[in-house]
């Protein structure tokens, strides 16, 4: 079913409606407005499911929508639940509008690519970590991260998609790319912990968004996967936070500073 968010052209198809030349509907989330031609004031409405319920003195008017050919809607204009006209909504600006399922696939693909980046970060941290306890935590989280990447691959395949072979640095990936990642320069301990802590919270934010998009799309399996992954990411973030003193001591020793 097409998403309602966006700008729509309105065309009369029957009944007592006027021609509607130049009339548009703009919808965002649970609110929208009917835009009248020649810059006249818009008429606001609330979006409840597939109903556009007008406010204030027009509260008896409701437009009831039905998905049409996978990209637009047919509509019945009603007053006090009695139909008096029919119309069509078609997307404006650039053809077919993005669907919630397309957005879901995009978010899953970004999560998969993110996990690949995190795996590379963990490899660098593991190779430069001497503390046995921290090393054990990193190796354990690497196994978890490999599982996260596999689950996202499986969710992509469930939607008939495959991971992108080339990913531009945008969104979550761009944010990861901006992290200093001192492991590349051979620096360790404190700075690595800082970057890992930031990355864990970037992952948490990414999966919070993905979970909500999956819920909107009715994809309960992806939403459940996000819940499980989020629990593991939060544990890892808490583990790093519980070891700040250890990271500071390691960092000081690396730089030849005596630690009392």
Average pLDDT over residues 237-258: 84
| pLDDT, tens digit (0-9, with 9 covering 90-100), for 2-56 | 578 888 999 999 999 888 888 889 888 888 889 887 655 678 999 999 999 999 8
% of the chain with per-residue pLDDT over 70: 84
The phi, psi pair for 191, rounded to 5°, reads: -70, -35
pTM, full prediction: 0.58
Q: How far apart are CA 86 and CA 241, in angstroms?
A: 59
Q: How far apart are CA 87 and CA 153, in angstroms?
A: 41
Listed residue (112, 122, 115) closest to 142, CA to CA = 122
Q: How far apart are CA 79 and CA 68, in angstroms?
A: 22
Q: Are 39 and 23 in contact (CB under 8 A)?
A: no
pLDDT of residue 75: 95
Radius of gyration of the chain (CA): 26
Listed residue (65, 63, 92, 67) closest to 78, CA to CA = 63
| pLDDT, tens digit (0-9, with 9 covering 90-100), for 151-190 | 999 998 887 777 764 443 344 444 444 444 444 344 466 7
| pLDDT, tens digit (0-9, with 9 covering 90-100), for 80-110 | 999 999 999 988 864 344 567 778 888 898 8
Listed residue (116, 70, 62, 90) closest to 6, CA to CA = 90
Q: How far apart are CA 126 and CA 85, in angstroms?
A: 67
| pLDDT, tens digit (0-9, with 9 covering 90-100), for 117-152 | 888 888 877 887 777 888 899 999 999 999 999 999
DSSP 17: -
- What H or E segment, with its residue span, contains residue 240? helix 220-241
Q: How far apart are CA 179 and CA 194, in angstroms?
A: 10
Q: Is 3 helix (H, G, I), strand (E, B) or coil?
A: coil
């Amino acid at each position: 079913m097409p998403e309602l968010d966006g700008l729509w052209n309105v065309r009369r198809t029957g009944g007592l409606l006027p021609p509607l030349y130049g009339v548009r509907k703009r919808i965002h989330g649970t609110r929208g407005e009917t835009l009248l031609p020649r810059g006249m004031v818009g008429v606001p409405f609330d979006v409840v499911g597939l109903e556009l319920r007008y406010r204030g003195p027009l509260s008896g008017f409701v437009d009831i929508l039905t998905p049409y050919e996978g990209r637009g809607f047919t509509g019945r204009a009603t007053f006090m639940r009695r139909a008096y006209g029919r119309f069509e909504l078609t997307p404006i600006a650039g053809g077919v509008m993005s669907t919630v399922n397309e957005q879901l696939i995009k978010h899953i693909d970004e999560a998969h690519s993110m996990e690949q980046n995190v795996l590379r970060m963990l490899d660098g941290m593991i190779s430069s970590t001497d503390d046995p306890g921290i090393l054990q935590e990193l190796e354990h989280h690497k196994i978890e991260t490999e599982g996260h990447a596999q689950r996202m691959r499986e969710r992509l395949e469930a939607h008939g998609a495959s991971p992108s072979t080339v990913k531009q640095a945008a969104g979550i990936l761009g944010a990861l790319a901006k992290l200093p990642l001192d492991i590349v320069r051979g620096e360790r301990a404190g700075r690595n912990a800082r970057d890992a802590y930031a990355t864990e919270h970037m992952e948490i934010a990414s999966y919070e968004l993905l979970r909500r998009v999956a819920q909107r799309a009715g994809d309960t399996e992806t939403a459940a996967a996000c819940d499980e992954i989020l629990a593991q990411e939060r544990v890892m973030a808490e583990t790093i936070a519980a070891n700040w003193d250890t990271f500071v001591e390691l960092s000081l020793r690396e730089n030849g500073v005596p630690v009392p």
